[in-house]
Structure 1
């Protein structure tokens, strides 16, 4: 059911953030951005001056049911005009679905767009009415990974280390998944079938990869599962020339991730301090945002910082350009018309690959030893976004 209006006591953006539970650390970038921007959010008022925008935050508890309750509280108690969220392969869709049902605009990110659309039962012929997303696609991941594989030769047998959940199913999809793009470039993908997360043993996958002669392994595993795979591969003397993984980089950087840094795992780069992007709110550069995060938290920057900041930029832009920012339908329509340079790059919902989606460009990266940090992410493949310069050569594991 659509609810035409938000509250009458001002403008409010709601945020659903995993502050507790297993995804809590993944909520850190959005929590940081919310705290950083909260005191200075406003939109032009009719006539002259500025109209303040309030932020209301609810904890998803890292659980889909709790995320739905959080949306209900934001809509009923806080009277929000728009909701933002990121992180969680089950939590993010729960937030989006709850917003669709409640009739409130929602903007989400850091989730392949096919999962956002097809994982929620979407149909491009009948677009979502309230929910919008910006990210990359599984096809984009395949293209970037293939570009890195091809630096080691033109055609490879690639072992697929994918789970048995929604993520693995979408990667395997023969029409809009990872497989058709990689296969079209001449690579032979071999798949032992999905594993259950968290994994306890990868012997079956390792034996399968050895049998089919996989010289490269591609994955979307958590840091813990990928580290387990890497240790068991070494024990069984299976030595892929390269491992590519699309998921583990977003996790907090600890001992497990440092082990993967040393292993030379190659990954996606969707944001870094060296990206030539600026905030549409205050002209902050990517480098300044990363430095501010490190100074305030004492932790290394994380890629989700850029998209987290862009969430607030899009939300404020939608309120500023809506015909009536208190009307939820007008705000949702405004998101659908948005074309905005942000901290995550140019986001354009008018030319997306499918309705309700704006694309974020991807390049390929690999962690390298650095004087300043133990390792630093360097761009090693940039054909899909040449304005982001190459910083190092891809180094094979063997």
Structure 2
């Protein structure tokens, strides 16, 4: 496909692969919102002589849909770079397809070890076209260890509720997972056999933790499986003092239609973006608080952590197009991504610093879903962790008070 022009400027297209149907549709909301928010602004922010346009395709919450979305964005829309967020199967499918056909890709919300090593890169053979920013499994372990030590001191025994999918498998990885980083902090992990997702029953895990007098449980379970675990624990007359969980908990829980508390209530989790983070947009100085407020005003829904990462995708993509030696050449755009250093609304991102080629890291803090004032449950920052200048909003409390 030839270059597109509006008569005055050549057009640079940023492609967006986003779930708008299927089981991950709600996970696509932040990226869909930011796409609509920034589309008119980005038109005038490109390199001299160019205008930026956005084109989106629905991944349909599946790997096949993701591959088709990339093909359409690359071929039909002539996208110079493709952006995506979220999905254990979808995100790698987007990135792998971009790598295969030679289109720059930028993604987030996926622990970097899973993104990098899980897609068969290694320290000697990095990717040519695909770039990512996120936290690592080791960062999650360090954040959770901070929380465990707040309730029980050093050298805790922690029960691990792992599934047999990518989340559990990579959490257990002996060199690059969550588990070795947690053990390096002096904690002992009790790891029953992983369960098949979705879980049919978790009685064996409950019994193992109860019999070992475990006070802390950690997991990467879905909300559904976490609810099942908590229900079975209650039926067995046992409850941990604290649950830490890294998956699905970026999205606000709410009281169920039956009036029962959601599975996430009182659960501690990682915090990577809030309206209180001390960051601003590289476009126009928009603050984290202003972005969160815009989302709530326009959608009528509670702000979401992935909003900041979704916004930063466009910041980095626009920067790469502007910094590229030839913004119409995909190879030049990919090279520009690899040398990007940029302060964004999600914090400073630096692809020249590693930890591996193709990856920049995001700082983590620790939080907990507690009953709120404006919403049923609000994410309370209980430890600032790696984030300089992030205010702490409350104390860590027992999940069962």
TM-score by length of 1: 0.95
Provide the C-alpha distance between the structure 1 equivalents of 2:38 and 2:381, rounded to a whole number of angstroms.
29
The correspondence for 1:362, drawn from 329, 348, 364, is 364
Q: CA RMSD, aligned part only?
A: 1.6
Go from structure 1 to structure 2 and tell me whether the alpha carbon gap of 1:164 and 1:7 turns closer, same or farther (over 3 Å shift).
farther
Go from structure 1 to structure 2 and tell me whether the alpha carbon gap of 1:74 and 1:239 turns closer, same or farther (over 3 Å shift).
same
Secondary structure (helix, strand or coil) at the match of 1:214 reads coil
2:104 paired residue number:
105
Provide the C-alpha distance between the structure 1 equivalents of 2:2 and 2:162, rounded to a whole number of angstroms.
42
Contact 1:25 1:251 in 2 (8 A): no
**Higher relative contact order at CA 8 Å, sep ≥6: structure 1 or structure 2?**
1
- 1:1-398 correspondence to structure 2 within 5 Å: 7-9=3-5, 10-41=11-42, 42-46=44-48, 51-152=50-151, 153-251=153-251, 253-255=253-255, 258-262=261-265, 264-397=266-399
Which range moved further: 19-28 or 241-250?
A: 241-250
TM-score by length of 2: 0.94
Q: Structure 1 residue 261: deviation in Å?
A: 4.7
2:8 paired residue number:
none
Provide the C-alpha distance between the structure 2 equivalents of 1:6 and 1:117, rounded to a whole number of angstroms.
33
Go from structure 1 to structure 2 and tell me whether the alpha carbon gap of 1:45 and 1:396 turns closer, same or farther (over 3 Å shift).
closer
Provide the C-alpha distance between the structure 2 equivalents of 1:23 and 1:356, rounded to a whole number of angstroms.
26
Secondary structure (helix, strand or coil) at the match of 1:81 reads strand
Secondary structure (helix, strand or coil) at the match of 1:366 reads strand
Secondary structure (helix, strand or coil) at the match of 2:249 reads helix
Go from structure 1 to structure 2 and tell me whether the alpha carbon gap of 1:252 and 1:382 turns closer, same or farther (over 3 Å shift).
closer
Q: Which runs of 5+ in 2 are unaligned?
A: 6-10
Q: Structure 1 residue 68: deviation in Å?
A: 0.4
Contact 1:365 1:380 in 2 (8 A): yes
Provide the C-alpha distance between the structure 2 equivalents of 1:394 and 1:254, rounded to a whole number of angstroms.
20
Provide the C-alpha distance between the structure 2 equivalents of 1:66 and 1:260, rounded to a whole number of angstroms.
30
Provide the C-alpha distance between the structure 1 equivalents of 2:130 and 2:212, rounded to a whole number of angstroms.
43
Q: Structure 1 residue 350: deviation in Å?
A: 0.5
Contact 2:364 2:385 in 1 (8 A): no
Secondary structure (helix, strand or coil) at the match of 2:218 reads strand
Provide the C-alpha distance between the structure 1 equivalents of 2:112 and 2:209, rounded to a whole number of angstroms.
29
Go from structure 1 to structure 2 and tell me whether the alpha carbon gap of 1:217 and 1:6 turns closer, same or farther (over 3 Å shift).
farther
Q: How many residues align?
A: 390
User: Residues 55-83 of structure 1: CA distance to partner in whole angstroms, max 9, x if unpaired?
Assistant: 01000000001100110111111111000
Contact 1:261 1:375 in 2 (8 A): no
Q: Structure 1 residue 7: deviation in Å?
A: 3.4
Moved over 4 A (4+): none
Provide the C-alpha distance between the structure 2 equivalents of 1:236 and 1:6, rounded to a whole number of angstroms.
65
Contact 1:61 1:67 in 2 (8 A): yes
Secondary structure (helix, strand or coil) at the match of 1:144 reads helix
Contact 1:43 1:319 in 2 (8 A): no
Q: Structure 1 residue 286: deviation in Å?
A: 0.5
Provide the C-alpha distance between the structure 2 equivalents of 1:363 and 1:284, rounded to a whole number of angstroms.
22
Contact 2:252 2:377 in 1 (8 A): no
Q: Structure 1 residue 358: deviation in Å?
A: 0.3
